[in-house]
Structure 1
Amino acid sequence: MNTPTASIRPAHRDSVLRVDCDGQTLVGLLSEPVVAASDIGVLLIVGGPQYRVGSHRQFTLLGRALAGAGVPCLRLDYRGMGDAQGDQRDFAQVDADIAAAIDAWQREHPSLKRVVLWGLCDAASAALLYVHRRRDPRVAGLCLANPWVRTATSLARAQVKHYYLDRLRQPAFWRKLLSGRVGLGAVRELLGKLAQSRAPAHAGSPSAAAGSSGAAGSSSAARLADTRHYTEQMADGLRAFGGPVLLILSGDDVCAREFQDRCRDGGPVWQGLLSRPGLRREDLPDADHTFSTAAWRAHVERLTADFVRGVPAAA
């Protein structure tokens, strides 16, 4: 006689949330705990060019892991990405998309009072630009993974400091150079990177957009008219944000290296940001940019769930 086994109850449920943003439809996937509605959730902003599933399904798995831990998570395709309507845009132009997603989520689930913005790479940058421009009181915390501060100069500096200088210290490199096995092209590349690394910090930025054409809401006119480089706006967002921040940095990632270099050498606007009150830094020494192994992914899931559960309730 077979002994009946207990049924396995799902830890989460998934549903589609459609979001109207300036007359265009965005698509979000909402993962929720099966029991116990929470007043706080994670809005996972997806950087581009990418959509809500993420590399090696990392965002799908993160959203479901959070829901299984009792934290609802909305993964959003902003305009021009994935299944969303509209023209493709970059991370500096998605303020309206983020605000519209929070609006729609609260309409569907009135119990939701607070939101933590979670972003990897340029999505982390988008989160900082959003809190700088909007000062949205619904945003209670930030999870920032390997934030993007890329310029041609910052990339060259990171490569020179963390790659080329290491090679120059290796006896094998000099043996290859003297034996002719390192070509002149490689030497010219090194000299070019050295020259590029001495350029002004903002040289060759792929995006220095001042803001989103749809930005509105609680932003002041001064913030809407902010024409400074996007990295300076990010720094102001991080400095002025009143809630807790989780900063996750990978050890094997040039974007993380650039961010650390920017915090150290980026001028007065960046000084002291890594030691600001309320910022918790977590380093994953061996992890790559997207936390591509099961162990790294699980580590990020645990860090995020623990962080969100610790975000203080609104006063």
Structure 2
Amino acid sequence: MNTSPAHRDSVLRIDCHGDALVGLLSEPVTTSGSASAAAGASPAAGTGVLLIVGGPQYRVGSHRQFTLLGRALAAAGVPCLRIDYRGMGDAQGAQRDFEQVDADIAAAIDAWQREHPSLERVVLWGLCDAASAALLYVHRRRDPRVAGLCLANPWVRTATSLARAQVKHYYLERLRQPSFWRKLLSGRVGPGAVRELLGKLAQGRATAAPARAGTAGPGAHATDTRHYTEQMADGLRRFGGPVLLILSGKDVCANEFLDRCRDGGPAWHGLLSRPGLRREDLPDADHTFSTAAWRAHVERLTAAFVRGVPAA
């Protein structure tokens, strides 16, 4: 029995404006006895997955989800690079948020191509605000090397959107439960809980206002000062490659994203039905796909998606 690993890991050092980033590259081992060879799983030549990590987080991920995803992709024949962007994990530099990592993403692709000239295309993979960062990147940079997007539970959070999602997907459900009314009438639901409900209802009815302006990095859209969610919508609408959208059924962020697609105004109208978008719902999954079954499902979806990304 051949027990050789189906992947190999190596460190890729990345320079981003003088700051050192750390990347972990998982690559297929394509010997005749490897799992990837046995499965015949080979994506389009020259395609890899750049896994962007949202913050505050680093390249291993909650319950090692990013380490396991990268290795699973490599075992399926898909090379995967996981990075810490500046200020996170082992990377140098000042801490920043997802709106400010365009340069980090570009630097990672540059370094990967220098070390592996056969890499021609990348698929950006992100969970939560890393999915948002991927959309902001394709909106601002229009990088022709980005051939596909995998977006898991994208972040579109504002105070109003959170209140609306909580009212719609939690509080209204509680109001439908007889046990809630029995507790309320018996005094077991305190006045604080009632005030919280009324506050959420009022906040959810408020008109959504931009929380802050976008902070684009250098590139074609460096002067775009619209709210980041509007820039995300533009990125999704204008991106020319295929998109895999993975949504968890038991996740407030996913519910907020769906609400934004339905009620977010003209910028978001029709985006869920845009050509090239494939939506996959995991009805029982939580935000980080924390069980082995959910994780494996995401791994299979991603590998199949990448194999279908066309060459330029």
TM-score by length of 1: 0.93
CA deviation map 1:193-226 (0-9, x unaligned): 01111222236x3xx34224xx33xx32xx2111
Match of 2:27?
Answer: 32
Code of the residue aligned with 2:274 in structure 1: it is R
Match of 1:3?
Answer: none
- Does the CA contact (< 8 Å) of 1:92 and 1:209 recur in 2? no
Give runs of aligned pairs for residues 1-315 of structure 1, distance below 5 A.
Answer: 6-35=1-30, 38-202=45-209, 205=211, 208-212=212-216, 215-216=217-218, 219-220=219-220, 223-314=221-312
Equivalent position SS for 2:267: helix
Say how many residue pairs are matched. 300
CA deviation map 1:230-253 (0-9, x unaligned): 000000000000000000000000
Whole-Å separation in 1 of the counterparts to 2:233 and 2:154: 11
- Does the CA contact (< 8 Å) of 1:54 and 1:60 recur in 2? yes
Structure 2 unmatched runs, 5+: 31-41
Code of the residue aligned with 1:265 in structure 2: it is D
Equivalent position SS for 1:156: helix
Structure 1 unmatched runs, 5+: 1-5
Whole-Å separation in 2 of the counterparts to 1:286 and 1:278: 25
Give the CA deviation at 1:78. Answer: 0.1
Code of the residue aligned with 1:263 in structure 2: it is C
Code of the residue aligned with 1:120 in structure 2: it is L
Whole-Å separation in 1 of the counterparts to 2:223 and 2:71: 38
Give the CA deviation at 1:30. Answer: 0.1
Whole-Å separation in 1 of the counterparts to 2:175 and 2:6: 52
* % identity of equivalent residues: 85
Whole-Å separation in 2 of the counterparts to 1:81 and 1:8: 35
Equivalent position SS for 1:59: helix
